[in-house]
Chain A
């Protein structure tokens, strides 16, 4: 199957700083990527749909000025958590593919963010 990478896998940052997470599709082009966050023992929560060359589509309740998404190429999407707070600590997962009628999403390995 297709491979999606995420970097970094773990990051610890201080309150008020910004953190960038990269999501790359390694062997295919992805016009659409998805960003999720997951709290312990909870299901995946879709944050936004990242569209190459255009603005991301954010889910209700997700602050677009806090979670900046850039999808500059067909193989790279980035999520920047700005002015991070401890409540932003979570597991962030990206996925690619699976848009529209395409059926399979390929998930990255996830990024564990801890804000101190």
Chain B
């Protein structure tokens, strides 16, 4: 079966750095996505990785290793507004998005 694993919840301090990991087992691979979702709202796109390596976008970076079936989202200089759920999703060989359950990130002052 297809599976996406990510931690259920993480806590970090304002101003710090946090890394959210995602591992996947899917039938084929056509890209990995990270989305941010605030409570009661729809997800918003953060990043897309299809090749190995690190993609940096401001305070957020996303890393992919296809051979390891592994990705992480790195958030720097954490702000209170970063408190949200972070969803990892992978497009499989049929270009269908497989979603992880999300990681709830709690930022403390």
Name A residues whose Cβ lies closer than 8 Å to a Cβ of B: 1, 41-46, 91, 93, 95, 98-101, 103-110, 112
Contacts and interface: CB of A to CB of B under 8 A. Distances in A.
Interface residues of B, number: 21
B95 A44 contact: no
A43 B100 contact: yes
A104 B104 CA distance: 22
Nearest to A49: B96
Interface of B: 30-31, 33, 40-45, 48, 50, 87, 91, 95-97, 99-102, 104
Contacts of A99: 95
A31 to B, nearest CB: 14
B45 A46 contact: no
Given A43-B87, A44-B87, A112-B40, A105 B45 contact: yes
A109 B45 contact: no
A95 B42 CA distance: 9
B45 A43 contact: no
